Amino acid sequence: MRDDKVIASALLAWYDRHARVLPWRIPPPSGRADPYRVWLSEVMLQQTTVAAVKDYFIRFTTLWPTVDDLAAAEDARVMAEWAGLGYYARARNLLACARAVAAAGGFPDSRDGLRALPGIGAYTSAAIAAIAYDAPETVVDGNVERVVARLFAVQTPLPAAKRDLTAAAGRLTPTERPGDFAQAMMDLGATICTPRSPACGICPLIGACDARAAGIAATLPRKSPKAARPTRTGTAWVARQGDALLLEQRPAKGLLGGTLAFPSASWDGRDLPPPGPARWREIGEVRHVFTHFSLSMTVLVGELSGNPERGYLVPLRQIDRDALPGLMRKVWDMARTEIAA
């Protein structure tokens, strides 16, 4: 019979020896982490890899060491620093949450209080409560789902299996060191119980794993077939006037919300004309993949012959590629040679 306490104890002992070194984490078993750093890292890690987040996290915490510092930051500066990390609604919610926390004098210490903040859902509230406040909350991300599906040989496909996997993870979560346990489960999934070719031979839970015993570990968790991703088309205009380029601020809500971008249309539901008078010339297409659709964007360049009808002119020397979202970086990379000609 499986002993949940033995599983938790074995995993924590493994974690004490093999925990990943991450810039937002304190080494085990050192106690509670800073809720600001836990929150910031969890928001950045949503649908983004650890490798991609590390440099962003270090830069953000260097620029804004505390939640009060971030709350006082200019929106445009935060959006520019976020550029390239994707899912820009996270950056908008980040600022809204930081300002709510600063106004309240600090982060709440309960999951319910945390969940009431802008942009914090069930997973993030549980992670902050467990890791920063050592509350016995169940933290379930994709890594944890995979570990639990294999431990219990759950063959119901995701996403239908989510409720059962969360319940099973809850039974394993100990009352002592729940934050370390949550991070240990994540580390196990990230380094040993990996999606392909899991390293079962060195897993600290090999003796308790039903999927390993049945020889089906590599096939779990099962997933329901995904619907085909639709394709959209759109147009981006890269307009020059003298030594300046035309840029615009994206609408605060929606795709790439609040970011600096080249004027564009059609792909995002906005049926807009060219941003000003010019002899437009098509130079090619860029392709970009969003969560729910693929995009083929036609890029046109031109020299403005009059005042722009939207956006504003920015001197070429001030154009910062890194401040543009990924899609617009691709547009700029295609257009910059033509613009310089």
Short-list 115, 109, 161, 170, CA closest to 137: 170
Structural Rg of the chain based on CA atoms: 24
Collapsing DSSP states into helix, strand and coil, what is residue 312?
strand
Which residues, in sequence order, are bridge partners of residue 238?
301
Contact indicator for 237, 302 with CB cutoff of 8 Å: yes
Active site residue 42: yes
In this structure, what token pair is assigned to residue 69?
């510092």
Which candidate in 42, 81, 137, 145 is catalytic? 42
Our CA dihedral for 73, 78, 80, 81, rounded to 10 degrees, sits at 110
C-alpha span between 31 and 36 (Å, rounded):
15
Instruction: Report the relative pairing of strands 312-315 and 244-249 from DSSP bridges.
Output: antiparallel
**Which residue in the block uniquely carries the two structure tokens 């060491």?**
65
List CB contacts of 226: < 8 A, sequence separation 6 or more: none
C-alpha span between 164 and 187 (Å, rounded):
21
End-to-end CA distance of the chain: 73
Q: Where are the alpha helices (DSSP H) in 134-177?
A: 142-151, 162-172
List CB contacts of 90: < 8 A, sequence separation 6 or more: 43, 44, 46, 82, 119
C-alpha span between 124 and 111 (Å, rounded):
9
Longest dimension (CA), the chain: 79
Residues with catalytic roles = 42
